[in-house]
Amino acid sequence: MNLKGRTAAAWLLAASAAAAALAAAAFIAAFPPPSTFALLYPPANPHVRDGRFAAPVCNGVQCRLCPYDCFLPEGARGRCKVRINYGGKIKTLVYAQPAAVHVDPIEKKPVYHMNPGSLIYSLAAPGCNLTCRACQNWEISQIYPEQAPKKLPVPAALSVSVGHDGRAYAGLVSEEVSGLQPEDVVRRALATRSRAIAYTYSEPTVFYEYMYDTALLARRRGLKNVMVSAGYINPEPLRELLPLMDVVKIDLKGFSEKFYRGYTGARLEPVKRTLLELKKKGALFEVVNLVVPGLNDARPDLEALCGWVRENLGAETPLFFSRFAPNYLLTGVPQTPPETLALARRIALEKGLKFVYTGNLPGSEGESTYCPKCGRALVRRYGYAVLEDRLTPTGGRCPWDGTRVPGIWEGGI
């Protein structure tokens, strides 16, 4: 192309770019980002609230809720899909927007060192800051809030009746809702005779404000609070939340950076930092590791995980090894062999951990809680059912030798 042709092409390119810029400017002038946002989320939307833990940076906002520390220009969302920069402020898009609500046995969380056999009112909002390849709740954790159901059946009360055989029978009464404010959650938890509220299923860190306000009301009404989390949260929000939490259950997905990055899209070190913070603050917490064949089940990895928990979190830290089942993006991976779970439990016990469990494997020895001194079964379980509980009547002490088992052991409904 000669000089004249190149000049004409350059002028044409410049004119096209100018026209595109003018069109973009006209669009922004007519629909500036806050107005565009307002069309999607009008002021009357009860699920949009001010978010916490953010700071203005350059021409945007930096979210400081979790270790991603997302930088968000106007109108942009974080990796969790549910936090957005609107008008220079962080907004949460899922306040009082439940994506799943159930009444569960507390053993399903799994939490084994608080009120065995009790009911726990469990809720989640959409979104997650991890992208685990085998997430069992991906239908709610990996969606945008716009994709969540507009209405949802939620447990509202527990009805108890006496049958012709003289036995008492209980059934849940549900009702359909389009939102569930914190006071609604607490009222329904009490009405279903739940003794605690669990923030679970997705990742409660990303619906922090909703969880915090609900936990505050729950504490005032005598309910316990349980956070079921992957632990990907920054220290400041964690420290502010801990006084409201009775138990924190952390999913320690694996014990190598390579696995964490490939399987969760996150990093291992921030999760270890969260666990160390829980230990430092004297929180009651339990650790769960989902054992995935071929990915995090190598003996050296299991030994490293167990050794780190023993040395850094303490011998009395409850540690679960759960059986993997094919799901989401890992449907081609087989279930974890029972022998692998037995090996993991044996390694943990050899490392000196006192309370080691195996999950998703009904009938296994690792379902029950044993006295670390005399070896007798203190809480016998089968699946989510508690067959025998010798800790609650004694306030958490072995009835044979008086050994204290850490946890919350309270009787009554």
- Hey, where are the domains in the chain? 100-161+170-372, 373-413
pLDDT at residue 2, rounded to an integer: 60
Tokens 């049958």 belong to which residue? 163
Residue 287 sits at φ, ψ, to 5 deg, of -120, 135
- Rounded to whole angstroms, the Cα distance separating 410 from 192 reads 18
pLDDT at residue 29, rounded to an integer: 55
pLDDT at residue 65, rounded to an integer: 98
Residue 397 DSSP code: B
Among 375, 381, 404, residue whose Cα is nearest residue 391: 404
**Strand partners of residue 84:** 77, 91
Q: Which amino acid is at 221?
A: R
pLDDT at residue 334, rounded to an integer: 97
Average pLDDT over residues 174-191: 97
Average pLDDT over residues 150-170: 88
- Rounded to whole angstroms, the Cα distance separating 331 from 337 reads 16
Burial of residue 319, with CB atoms counted within 10 A of its CB: 0-12 exposed, 13-18 middle, 19 or more buried: buried
pLDDT at residue 167, rounded to an integer: 84
How much is the pTM? 0.89
Q: 321-342: per-residue pLDDT in tens?
A: 999 999 999 999 999 999 999 9
Cα separations (Å) of 111 from 163, 226, 262, 298?
32, 9, 27, 26
What is the DSSP track for 43-110? TT-TT-EE--SEEEETTEEEE-SSTT--EEETT-B-TTSSEEEETTEEEES-TT--SEEEEEEGGGTT
pLDDT at residue 17, rounded to an integer: 67
Domain range 100-161+170-372, CATH class: alpha beta
Q: 250-306: per-residue pLDDT in tens?
A: 999 999 999 999 999 999 999 999 999 999 999 999 999 999 999 999 999 999 999
Angle of the 208-220 helix axis to the 182-191 helix axis, nearest 10:
50
Average pLDDT over residues 384-403: 97
